[in-house]
């Protein structure tokens, strides 16, 4: 491990100043991914700015009834928060579907959004990877890619975003608040992560020196129910083969509001806008759900060994929408 | 704990349990002698070829780096008994991950940084790393692992199969599997006054000592290998691994103590693996399910370094009566890491295929799969004709069926559904041979009335210390607390490897003999013991040198209920129940752990543990515990292990058979058979992950 400096700032401003002064700096949250990557030689920051003890560890109500989640709130605490459990169960379920109890106790909200792909080639510095070493090539396209992307990938990169939490946040229309050398800004979560294109080394739209300070959830739409469902190779402590977060409001047998996002399929949480367009105003039936999901997954371009993900995502989404409908439209 | 003598089988608590759970038990990498250097291996990054240059200047410039060993400056080894130990001796790269340099530094971090700074240049040759059922390099070896003949034929299996009214001809494919014990392989070596002392994470330190003596060209008496506590091995520590040779070599070269532990990601390249197999099983039977022909033909890989042949066809020589049989192995040497022992080599892989095929036959005949097995019980061991010393497979099947509620099942496929879950049940048999090796032990009586037993056994988490104390105590008629046990040190009377489920039988026989001798000596005495006490040593060379006229095997039966998610194809085991017949059980508490541990490992083999050989890079893709999926607690359901006590006089003084491996044998078949029952889909490739199930869901 390359020697590095360590700094524990007392305020967001101090953290951002420190980051701006050191191009090779990394913000350290729970360290559950960054420290691994340092051991693997994938990351070798000259300076670690430990933001885990900044006063960003609160979950509070916003004036409009939404939720403001500090960037250092631990995944376990967020999953257990009564406001999350009551109004945003998909988020709680997504968090609990991720990692292990020990990791969730340590991992932070901001860090979770910035975790890197678990593509095996990205994690092995003895092999090419365009994300780690731009221009070196992508062996995954022809190599081991069962767990990798079917949507939105490029010639240069077929990696997937590994986060469960981000998938729920995408469906819940969350906003990410950033604090950087040029001030503060807000980015919708669905625009926070990028598609790989020809520069897959950039996972997100975050700018140099910017720090995630909080994630803001809008109020739950009236009557909306939500869930997160993940399929994986073992019952716990495995990344999603595919997952779905769904938010649904059904009135008089018709879909009033629907938000759908997929995990495990792409370089970012995949908000399913095409499916939502089909769903909105349509009868809340299995036939509609299948049509909607197919409209979205039409864009899938599976690789040699991961075509099953399309079927899996389809089944998960239709099942989720049907399950929510049963709950969303109880007999009145 | 009671102070009275304990009856055989008593659930005596593990002796070192408190030290382990409080962290005071020290493992091989937790010994840091003063002045210790830390090592980091530079693995080859090409799948085959030769090293043309190793540039170490940058590495040596890393602060804290002491030495970089390469074939140019590493001490010469004598011809090691295992070619995988011949490290840093030449420029050949037989597979990706082969050690090409060793960096030694004042800290682990500096060693790692130094290793990253070593520049190695290669001339690559073509490589071939993918096993196929018709690989052109396949040949028939002389022997498979365990010294079994590669081919055995009885009658005319081909003709009998062709003329059988009911035929099953199925090919099962298993990928590689990895042992991944919790404690990675590690060694701490130091030389002092011409004596080498090594703390090594091994399953048998006598073997490691002998192997080091040969490789280093020094006398055994000048080496002490200590394996006091070992965090699992599952076979991967049953033979010495490169880290112990490298650490010893480096300590000799530098004159400093050296510690070398293998990073988890590096283990798959150097600690062995269960080789992938392609297994064709042909069963020919009459309409009553009586077998006429059993063929089990194995294709597997080995490396170009050493030949290891997973003996997957061997259990078919034991299991079922049939007048005609062919069991055969073929192997091809690929540019891959060298496979080796992984819990129940041969039985775990072979019984997956054989017991799946038996289920296929039961389905084809419409006969209950328990009944089918009962109809094919042999009177003597089918291959050898020798009588069984005891065989209680039928009792295990019947008892398990009763406990599990087996006979209430609707045998039809895809018959039970509960919400999105498709439910099914499956059964499979298990077998594991009774193995025993020569060991020696000492038994000492002290004037204060206490006893001390010395035997170089290894406790790899099994409870060996505890059960050996029980054996000695029962012979001496004293409570186990009154017996001190010294194990895990090659200076003790020589013990065999903790492998082949043979530890308790091998060490226990020596302990029993020494303790019996001691009891005899004490019985003949009057008056107080002399101050130095009385010591008796014994070894079992004679007993273990005689081949038993009996076929000796443990048997078992697994019953499993699974739920398959009809949307996702996720398979979750709901219940597992195993019944085993393994002689007398000597400690019910630690025995249950062994059985259950094996069953959980079998669950992993069936459902979660997948390993991919990367055809381009020549390494196993899943090389950490986030990607190589051993079962998590959430995967392990209601799990029960039961046993049938056997009174078998043809075993050893304790009347025991080995129990460390049989739990994994047959488990995967029982789960696969349950998945078939739940879904109607007969899948013949493991693990049964959602991608495999999805095409068959409603």
Q: What mean pLDDT is predicted for residues B301-326? A: 98
* Inter-chain CB pairs, A–B, below 8 Å: 84
How many other β-carbons are positioned within 10 Å of the β-carbon of residue A59?
Answer: 19
Share of chain B above pLDDT 70, in %: 100
The domain spans of chain A are: 225-328
- Note the pLDDT tens digit of each residue in B483-532: 999 999 999 999 999 999 999 999 999 999 999 999 999 998 988 999 99
| Alpha-carbon distance B348 to nearest alpha carbon in chain A (angstroms) | 21
Strand pairing category for B92-93 and B119-124? unpaired
| Domain B31-126+180-270 listed as CATH 3.30.365.10 | yes
Contact between B614 and A236 using a beta-carbon 8 Å cutoff: no
Q: Over 60: is that where the pLDDT of A247 sits? A: yes
Looking at residue A329, its pLDDT comes to 59
Question: Is A144 within 8 Å of B614 when comparing Cβ atoms?
Answer: yes
Q: Which residues pair with B226 in a beta bridge?
A: B199, B489
Note the pLDDT of residue A327. 87
Asked whether A52 and A28 are in contact (CB, 8 A), the reply is yes
Q: Which two tokens stand for residue B494?
A: 């020589």
* Other CB atoms within 10 A of residue A280 CB: 13
Tell me, what's the pLDDT at B545? Answer: 93
CATH of domain A225-328: 3.30.390.50
Distances (CA, A) of B278 to B136, B533, B676: 14, 59, 20
CA angle, corner A198, sides to A196 and A204, nearest 5? 35
Please name the residue of chain A whose CA is at the shortest distance from the CA of residue B629: A234
Q: Could you report the predicted ipTM of this complex, rounded to two decimals?
A: 0.96
**Which residues on chain A are in Cβ contact (under 8 Å) with B109?**
1
How many CA atoms within 13 Å lie on the side-chain side of B45? Answer: 14
The pLDDT value recorded for residue B1 is: 41
Tell whether the model's pLDDT for residue B471 goes beyond 80: yes
From B539, B419, B93, select the one nearest A322 (Cα to Cα): B419
List C-alpha distances in Å: B277 to A73, B176, B309: 48, 8, 10
Give B622-689 as a DSSP string.
--STTTS-PPPGGG--EEEEEE-----TTS-TT-B---SSGGGTTHHHHHHHHHHHHHS----BSS--
pLDDT of residue B8: 80
d(CA A248, CA A282): 12
Is the minimum CB–CB distance between B574 and chain A shorter than 8 Å?
A: no
| Residues in A touching B626 (Cβ below 8 Å) | 118, 237, 239
**Tens-digit pLDDT profile for residues B63-94:** 999 999 999 999 999 989 999 999 999 999 99
Mean pLDDT on A248-274: 97
d(CA B642, CA B580): 6
Q: Mean per-residue pLDDT for B535-539?
A: 98
Q: What is the CATH number of domain B388-433+552-698?
A: 3.30.365.10
> Which pLDDT tens digit goes with each residue over B404-442?
999 999 999 999 999 999 999 999 999 999 999 999 999
If pLDDT is split at 50, 70 and 90, which confidence band does B637 have?
A: confident
- Kindly tell me the sign of the dihedral angle through the C-alpha atoms of B73, B75, B79, B83: negative
Asked whether residue B460 carries a pLDDT value surpassing 70, the answer given is yes
pLDDT recorded at residue B212: 98
Considering only the beta carbons, identify the residue of B109, B612, B616 that sits closest to A1: B109
**What whole-number distance in Å separates Cα of residue B218 and Cα of residue B186?**
22
Domains B17-25+442-544 and B31-126+180-270 agree in fold: yes
Mean of the pLDDT values across residues B153-182? 98
Burial B196-208 (b: 16+ CB within 10 A, else e): bbbbbbbbbbbbb
Query: Domain spanning B17-25+442-544: which CATH class is it, in words?
Result: alpha beta
Chain A contact for B632 (CB, 8 A cutoff): yes
Three-state SS string over B54-74 comes to EECHHHHHCCCEEEEECCCCC
**Does B261 contact chain A (CB < 8 Å)?**
no
Cα–Cα dist B41/A209, whole Å: 36
- Does residue B4 register a pLDDT over 90? no
CA A278 to chain centre: 24
In the predicted structure, residue A330 carries a pLDDT above the cut 70: no
User: Residue A306 and residue B691: Cα distance in Å, rounded?
Assistant: 8
- Is there a contact between B632 and A100 if contact means CB atoms under 8 Å apart? yes
Query: Would you kindly state where each structural domain of chain B is located, as residue ranges?
Result: 17-25+442-544, 31-126+180-270, 388-433+552-698
Q: pLDDT tens-digit profile of A172-227?
A: 999 999 999 999 999 999 999 999 999 999 999 999 999 999 999 999 999 999 99
Q: Starting at the earlier edge strand, list the strands of the sheet with A175-180.
A: A59-61, A67-70, A211-217, A175-180, A183-188
Q: Model's pTM, two decimal places?
A: 0.97
Alpha-carbon distance of B7 to B473, in angstroms, equals 10
């Amino acid at each position: 491990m390359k020697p590095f400096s360590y700094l524990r700032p007392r305020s967001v401003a101090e953290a951002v100043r420190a980051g701006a002064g050191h191009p090779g700096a990394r913000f350290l949250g729970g360290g559950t991914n960054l420290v691994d990557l340092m051991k693997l030689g994938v990351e070798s920051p000259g300076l670690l700015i430990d933001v885990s003890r900044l006063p960003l560890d609160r979950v509070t109500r916003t004036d409009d009834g939404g939720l403001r989640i500090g960037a250092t709130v631990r995944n376990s605490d967020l999953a257990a928060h009564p406001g999350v459990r009551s109004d945003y169960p998909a988020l709680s379920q997504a968090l609990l579907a991720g990692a292990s109890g020990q990791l969730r106790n340590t991992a932070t909200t901001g860090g979770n959004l910035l975790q890197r792909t678990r593509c095996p080639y990205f994690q092995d510095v003895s092999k090419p990877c365009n994300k780690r070493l731009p221009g070196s090539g992508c062996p995954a396209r022809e190599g081991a890619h069962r767990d990798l992307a079917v949507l939105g990938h490029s010639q240069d990169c077929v990696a997937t975003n590994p986060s469960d939490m981000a998938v729920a946040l995408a469906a819940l229309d969350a906003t990410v608040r950033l604090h950087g050398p040029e001030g503060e800004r807000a980015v919708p979560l669905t625009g926070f992560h990028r598609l790989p294109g020809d520069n897959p080394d950039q996972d997100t739209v975050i700018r140099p020196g910017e720090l995630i300070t909080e994630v803001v959830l809008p109020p739950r739409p009236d009557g909306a129910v939500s869930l997160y469902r993940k399929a994986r190779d073992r019952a716990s402590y495995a990344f999603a083969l595919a997952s779905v977060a769904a938010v649904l409001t059904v009135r008089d047998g018709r879909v009033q509001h629907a938000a759908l996002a997929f995990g495990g399929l792409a370089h970012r949480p995949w908000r399913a806008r095409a499916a939502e367009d089909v769903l909105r105003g349509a009868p809340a039936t299995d036939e509609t759900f299948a049509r909607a999901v197919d409209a979205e997954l039409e864009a899938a371009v599976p690789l040699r060994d991961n075509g099953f993900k399309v079927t899996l995502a389809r089944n998960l989404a239709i099942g989720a929408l049907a399950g929510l409908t049963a709950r969303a439209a109880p007999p009145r | 704990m009671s102070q009275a003598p304990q009856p055989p089988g008593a659930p005596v608590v593990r002796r070192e349990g408190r030290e382990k759970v409080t962290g005071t038990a020290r493992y091989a990498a937790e010994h840091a002698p003063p002045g210790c250097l830390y090592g980091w291996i530079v693995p080859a990054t090409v799948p085959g070829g030769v090293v043309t240059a190793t540039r170490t200047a940058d590495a040596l410039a890393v602060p804290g780096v002491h030495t970089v060993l390469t074939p140019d400056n590493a001490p010469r080894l004598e011809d090691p008994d295992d070619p995988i130990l011949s490290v840093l001796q030449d420029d050949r790269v037989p597979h990706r991950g082969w050690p090409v340099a060793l960096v030694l530094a004042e800290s682990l971090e500096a060693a790692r940084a130094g290793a990253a700074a070593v520049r190695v240049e290669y001339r690559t040759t073509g490589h071939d790393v993918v096993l196929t059922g018709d690989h052109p390099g396949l040949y028939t070896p002389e022997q498979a692992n365990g010294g079994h003949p590669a081919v055995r034929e009885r009658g005319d299996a081909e003709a009998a199969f062709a003329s059988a009214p009911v035929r099953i001809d199925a090919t099962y494919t298993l990928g590689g599997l990895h042992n991944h014990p919790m404690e990675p392989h590690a060694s701490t070596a130091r030389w002092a006054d011409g004596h080498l002392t090594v703390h090594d994470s091994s399953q048998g330190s006598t073997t490691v000592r002998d192997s080091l003596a040969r490789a280093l060209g020094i006398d055994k008496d000048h080496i002490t290998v200590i394996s006091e506590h070992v965090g699992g091995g599952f076979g991967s520590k049953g033979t010495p691994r490169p880290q112990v040779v490298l650490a010893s070599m480096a300590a000799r070269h530098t004159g400093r103590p050296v510690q070398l532990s293998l990073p988890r990601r590096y283990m798959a390249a150097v600690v062995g693996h269960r080789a992938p197999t392609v297994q064709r099983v042909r069963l020919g039977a009459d309409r009553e399910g009586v077998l006429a022909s059993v063929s089990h033909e194995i294709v597997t890989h080995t490396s170009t370094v050493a030949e290891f042949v997973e003996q997957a066809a061997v259990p078919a020589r034991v299991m079922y009566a049939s007048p005609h049989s062919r069991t055969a192995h073929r192997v091809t040497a690929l540019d891959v890491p060298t496979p080796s022992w992984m819990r129940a080599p041969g039985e775990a892989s072979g019984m997956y295929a054989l017991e799946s095929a038996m289920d296929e036959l039961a389905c084809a005949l419409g006969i209950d799969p328990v009944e089918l097995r009962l109809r094919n019980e042999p009177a003597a061991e089918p291959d050898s004709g020798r009588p069984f010393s005891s065989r209680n497979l039928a009792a295990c099947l019947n008892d398990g069926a009763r406990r599990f509620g087996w006979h209430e099942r609707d045998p039809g496929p895809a018959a039970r559904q509960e919400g999105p879950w498709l439910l099914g049940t499956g059964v499979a048999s298990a077998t594991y041979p009774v193995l025993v090796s020569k060991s020696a032990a000492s038994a000492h009586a002290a004037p204060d009335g206490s006893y001390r037993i010395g035997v170089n056994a290894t406790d790899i988490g099994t409870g060996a210390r505890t059960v050996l104390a029980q054996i000695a105590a029962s012979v001496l008629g004293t409570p186990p607390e009154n017996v001190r046990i010294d194990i895990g040190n090659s200076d003790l009377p020589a013990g065999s490897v903790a492998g082949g489920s043979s530890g308790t039988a091998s060490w226990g026989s020596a302990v029993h003999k020494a303790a019996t001798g001691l009891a005899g000596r004490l019985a003949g005495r009057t008056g107080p013991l002399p101050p130095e006490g009385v010591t008796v040593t014994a070894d079992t060379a004679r007993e273990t040198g005689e081949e038993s006229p009996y076929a000796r095997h443990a048997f078992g039966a697994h019953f499993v209920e699974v739920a398959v998610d009809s949307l996702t194809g996720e398979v979750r085991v709901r219940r597992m129940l195993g019944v085993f017949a393994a002689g007398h059980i000597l400690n019910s508490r630690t025995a249950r752990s062994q059985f259950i541990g094996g069953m959980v490992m079998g669950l992993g083999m069936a459902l979660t543990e997948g390993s991919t050989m990367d055809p381009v890079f020549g390494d196993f893709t899943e090389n950490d515990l986030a990607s190589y999926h051993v079962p998590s607690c959430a995967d392990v359901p209601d799990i029960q292990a039961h046993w049938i006590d056997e009174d078998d006089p043809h075993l050893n003084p304790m009347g025991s058979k080995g129990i460390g491996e049989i739990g994994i044998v047959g488990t995967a078949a029982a789960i696969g058979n349950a998945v078939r029952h739940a879904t109607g889909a007969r899948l013949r490739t493991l693990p049964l992950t959602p991608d495999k199930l999805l095409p068959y869901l409603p």
